[in-house]
Amino acid sequence: MPDYQGGRPRTWCSQRCRRTAYEERRAADNGAIAVKLDERVVEMKHDLDDCVSAVAGSPTACRGVLDALADAAHRGEIASDPRWDPSLRALVRLIDALTPSPGRR
Q: What are the pLDDT digits (tens) for 54-83?
A: 999 999 999 999 999 999 999 988 888 899
Q: Is residue 57 part of a domain?
A: yes
- Does the pLDDT of residue 1 top 60, yes or no? no
Structurally, how many domains does the chain consist of?
1
Q: Is residue 34 part of a domain?
A: no
Rounded CA gap, 55 and 65, in Å? 8
Q: Residue 72 in contact with residue 78, Cβ under 8 Å?
A: yes
Q: Is residue 32 part of a domain?
A: no
Average pLDDT for the chain: 84
This prediction has a pTM of: 0.50
Q: Is residue 36 part of a domain?
A: no
Q: Is residue 55 part of a domain?
A: yes
Higher pLDDT, 6 or 25: 25
Alpha-carbon distance values, 100 to 53, 89, 94 (Å):
25, 18, 12
Q: Is residue 29 part of a domain?
A: no
Q: Is residue 24 part of a domain?
A: no
Which domain range does residue 76 map to? 48-98
Q: Is residue 18 part of a domain?
A: no
